Amino acid sequence: MTATERFFCAEAARVRGDLLAGTAPYGRTWVLVEYRGGWPVNGFDGLDLDPGTKALVFSAAQAVRARVLLIRRHGSGRSHGPRRWAVLHHETSGAHRQQWGVWNRDEDLAQIAEALGAPGDLGRPPVVLVCTHGKHDVCCAVRGRPVGRALSERRPDQVWECTHVGGDRFAANVVVVPDGVYYGGLDAGSALVTVEEHLADRVHAEHLRGYTDLRPPQQAAVAAVLRRFGPAGRHEYAVAETSRVSGDRWSVRVTGSRPSTDFDVDVRSHRAPPRQLTCRGLRTSAAVVHVATSVRPR
């Protein structure tokens, strides 16, 4: 690359063939705050809010390991009325709960702290988040905005643009919450197919980064089963047992909700060569890669 060429991390990741499976960050709870201006570099932390309210939201979120994201509708003129906030939670039972509210003043966001301790409602449709946080990473905007536009035209009430979700090199990134499913490497066409299939409870392996209630080797194991046996519902497969065979090898038992659908999956983890993994980060990093080496029916 010459001095005049611009580096794009997502393009570089595609050229290298970076694996998607096993790259979803862990998490079961999300806090969403609607913000209609340009994204601050640091997301929610960069908002000019009442310091006491901001500290309250952060401490309450940290106590339950919740991720705080800013959200907005795609396109100008799409938003009107009070700004919204939400707390979404994926329970260990697999139940998906949501609680929504509105805010006009900074102090109204204090309701989030109370909502984080409340059960929330069942039965709401999932929320589709598209990372377009260009001030964090250029690829998130360049690749995320067309995906946000396409999905918003199809499902305007379910789709929001959002701030940084992790994995810039996998842009465009889409996260379905509180399902807790990360997809990456999307464009407008593949995003429409992937999301429509997901909402029909058919998760495909092709663009799957992972389920956020699983650890990376477990995510890679489930993705391997989906890749071999085809799409399945979000909760059709579960991880029953995980053991570390050696320093870099894992054995993961994946169980299905139907008879005779249990599998032993071998996963090998290793560090890739140091690379520049983000557009803005000039330093190189060695990402951990998780590869399923075998899938054996039990």
- pLDDT value at residue 77: 58
CATH superfamily of 9-213: Glutaredoxin (3.40.30.10)
Smallest Cα–Cα separation from 61: which of 87, 42, 41? 87
Smallest Cα–Cα separation from 240: which of 259, 223, 258, 253? 253
Q: Please work out, in degrees rounded to the nearest 5, the angle formed at the alpha carbon of residue 70 by the alpha carbons of 65 and 74.
A: 140
Q: Where are the domains of the chain?
A: 9-213
Classify residue 189 as exposed, middle or buried by CB count within 10 Å of its CB (0-12, 13-18, 19+): exposed
Q: Does residue 1 carry a pLDDT above 70?
A: no
Q: Which amino acid, 265?
A: V
Q: What is the pTM (predicted TM-score) of this model?
A: 0.95
What is the rounded distance in angstroms from the CA atom of residue 95 to the CA atom of residue 253?
A: 22
* Mean pLDDT taken over the chain: 93
pLDDT digits (tens, 9 = 90+) for 253-288: 999 987 778 999 999 999 999 999 999 877 899 999
pLDDT digits (tens, 9 = 90+) for 169-201: 999 999 999 999 999 999 999 999 999 999 999
Mean pLDDT of the region 126-143: 95
Q: Does residue 4 carry a pLDDT above 60?
A: no
What is the rounded distance in angstroms from the CA atom of residue 176 to the CA atom of residue 198?
A: 9
Q: Does residue 247 carry a pLDDT above 70?
A: yes
Q: Does residue 97 carry a pLDDT above 90?
A: yes
Binning pLDDT at 50, 70 and 90, where does residue 73 land?
very high
Are residues 209 and 183 in contact, defined by beta-carbon separation less than 8 angstroms? yes
Smallest Cα–Cα separation from 13: which of 287, 214, 271? 287
- pLDDT value at residue 119: 85
Q: Who has greater pLDDT, 178 or 119?
A: 178
- pLDDT value at residue 258: 76
